[in-house]
Amino acid sequence: MNFPKGYRCCGFNCGIKKESADLAIVVSDVPATAAAVYTTNLFQAAPLQVTKAHLDAGHTAQAIVINSGVANAAMGKQGLNDAEAVAKALAAHFDIAESSTIVASTGVIGMPLPVDKITAGIAGADAHLKPLAENADATAQAIMTTDTVSKQAAASVVIGGKTVHFWGMCKGAGMIHPNMSTMLGFVLSDAAIDAELLQQALSAAIGDSFNMISVDGDTSTNDMVTVLANGLAENPVIVDDGSQAFADFQAALKDICIQLAKKIVSDGEGATKLFEVQVANAPSTNDAKIIARAVTSSSLVKAAMYGRDANWGRIACAAGYSGAAFKPETMDIFIGDIQVAKDGQGLAFDEEAALALLSEHDILVKIDLHDGDGAAVAWGCDLTHDYVSINADYRS
């Protein structure tokens, strides 16, 4: 894996959790252009509010601190004061402006943030900080909650004769139904790019990645995706949204966001399967997205995936109630390469072959509407008994 230049990071235990890592810090050697997209949940957690104020003020950042275990959400004025105290400690330790800090939290909602433990962790961070290439794993592990594995991805692209690198990490396994978004994601790049174009690229990438996944239909309070670009790749600064350089940057950012989004769904709480829904020939791209998301978030479809049941009627039903405009009488449905419905009606098909496909970890569902040129892809996971078990005793 090739890593972007100029980043140091660490992940370690600061005492929030009993044993596992619970504090992650990322620092850029130089100020970086920054952009972010935030959850649409009205109960936005304090760290989001503080981060948004910082990035709105300058569109730059140089340090990120993320704690896991406690969300610092629904804590009123105390929550804001605590998030600001963490930002102040981070800024003071690295001798940067407070507005150049990004703060994030994940964990249990409604519990006070252990500020003293976090600020003490920040004060001792130098003993843990290493170049990104050496400490990426530890950093990604420190932001986990109910995740069973850490999640990282990388991408690269040549821009203006210079190789630009991207690395990203995210966390998320439950409360996943982004609108944007429902997890934490952090992407680092050494590209040189205008701040407005960085935000434009991120917003577009989110629409085809994190906003197209669903685990359980819950949109959380804390979650955001941020991207930093520190310019150390020394490519000519990307300033034209009509340029090939911007198109290449945008494609690479989208690629890494899709990689990370799929890792979240694959690690959905209790999940045993990842299924991809491709919608083709819809009246519009928006209609295709609405249908794809409806199918991936349907509890009945998700349960059928777990049970290895080729119940195409549940797929058709979810498309029908999605709110998208299409003609049911022209809809074809495939599971893998097996056609199970044509023109809105079921077909005889090889049930044993379908069972074999549904026994795989990765499952493909294709819906062809024959009603336009809109297309979209969404990802979901199956709904299992373990999902209920995990969430029935989450606080304990």
The rounded distance, in Å, linking the Cα atoms of 223 and 183 is: 5
Q: Pairing mode, if any, of strands 345-346 and 338-342?
A: antiparallel
Q: Measure CA of the first residue to CA of the last residue in the chain; give whole Å.
A: 37
Q: Angle at which helices 285-297 and 312-321 pack, to 10 degrees? A: 130
User: For residue 130, what are the β-bridge partners?
Assistant: 9
User: For residue 186, what are the β-bridge partners?
Assistant: 169, 226
Which is catalytic among the residues 101, 182, 219, 296? 182
DSSP 315-378: HHHHHHHS-----GGG-EEEETTEEEEETTEE----HHHHHHHHTSSEEEEEEE--SSSEEEEE
Residue that the structure tokens 């919608």 belong to: 279
The token pair at 1 is 């894996």
Q: Of all helices (H) and strands (E), which one includes residue 63?
A: strand 60-70
The rounded distance, in Å, linking the Cα atoms of 24 and 27 is: 10
Among 202, 248, 191, 230, smallest CA distance to 33 is for 230
Among 64, 60, 55, 58, smallest CA distance to 9 is for 64
DSSP assignment letter at 393? T
Total number of residues shown for the chain: 396
**Known active-site residue 182:** yes
Report whether the peptide linkage leading into residue 181 is cis, meaning its omega lies within 30 degrees of zero: yes
**Catalytic annotation, residues:** 182
